[in-house]
């Protein structure tokens, strides 16, 4: 399958995945956020991480803020991604739950420039769809893929775990050479590893 066919396939899957996620979010938002909290110790143990990059949910993304609070209680240093104004790589700034955030491009939220830059050992990231091979379908901007590729090429130790509703799993996520696979997926049902 050539690049243009994969792009069209991605557009179709993305459109369907947005509808599915909106439905799941409307019906499972609060219970899902609470269930994710149970896996904080498992994340720390599995990925041996002390610095965790999370995300502040937008649109119908699953709410990881309660999970991040538990990680902070377990002595993890948290950080949030800063989306650049032009397509590029994300940077990460230290974050304390409850801290005031700034609005970034694409409706994202991040700590202001007075927060320290950090290199996370574990990145929790949002997604539209995932499959059993831990492939991820995002919004199509490539921010996370470029960032993960940079970390991996520079041999910085980082693990990548998508966080989603269980119902966001699909049979196969369309991928091309620029897509970086995840190391696992966390849903309210548990952690799936690649």
In this prediction the pTM is: 0.93
**Which residue, 83, 87, 43, is CA-closest to 67?**
43
What are the structural domains, with CATH classification, of the chain? 3-193 (3.40.50.10420)
Cα separation of 181 and 194, whole Å?
A: 9
In this structure, what token pair is assigned to residue 4? Answer: 């243009």
Half-sphere exposure of 167 (CA within 13 A, CB side): 17
In order along its 194 residues, the chain shows pLDDT tens digits of: 677 788 888 889 899 999 999 999 999 999 999 999 999 999 999 999 899 999 999 999 999 999 999 999 999 999 999 999 888 899 999 999 999 999 988 889 999 999 999 999 999 999 999 999 999 999 988 999 999 999 999 987 899 999 999 999 999 999 988 899 999 999 999 999 98
Helix residue ranges per DSSP H, 97-180:
143-153
């Amino acid at each position: 399958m050539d690049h243009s066919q994969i792009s069209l396939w991605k557009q179709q899957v993305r459109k369907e995945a947005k509808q599915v996620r909106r439905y799941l979010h409307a019906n499972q938002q609060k219970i899902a956020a609470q269930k994710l909290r149970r896996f904080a110790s498992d994340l720390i143990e599995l990925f041996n991480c002390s610095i965790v990059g999370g995300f502040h949910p937008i649109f119908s993304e699953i709410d990881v803020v309660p999970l991040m609070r538990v990680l902070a209680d377990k002595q993890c240093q948290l950080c949030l991604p800063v989306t650049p104004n032009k397509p590029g790589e994300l940077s990460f700034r230290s974050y304390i739950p409850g801290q005031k955030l700034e609005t970034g491009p694409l409706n994202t939220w991040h700590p202001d420039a007075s927060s320290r830059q950090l290199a996370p050992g574990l990145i929790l990231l949002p997604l539209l769809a995932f499959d059993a091979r831990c492939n991820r379908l995002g919004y199509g901007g490539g921010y996370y893929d470029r960032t993960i590729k940079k970390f991996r090429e520079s041999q910085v130790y980082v693990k990548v775990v998508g966080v989603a509703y269980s119902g966001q799993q699909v049979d196969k996520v369309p991928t091309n050479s620029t897509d970086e696979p995840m190391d696992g997926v966390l849903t309210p049902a548990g952690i799936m590893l690649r």
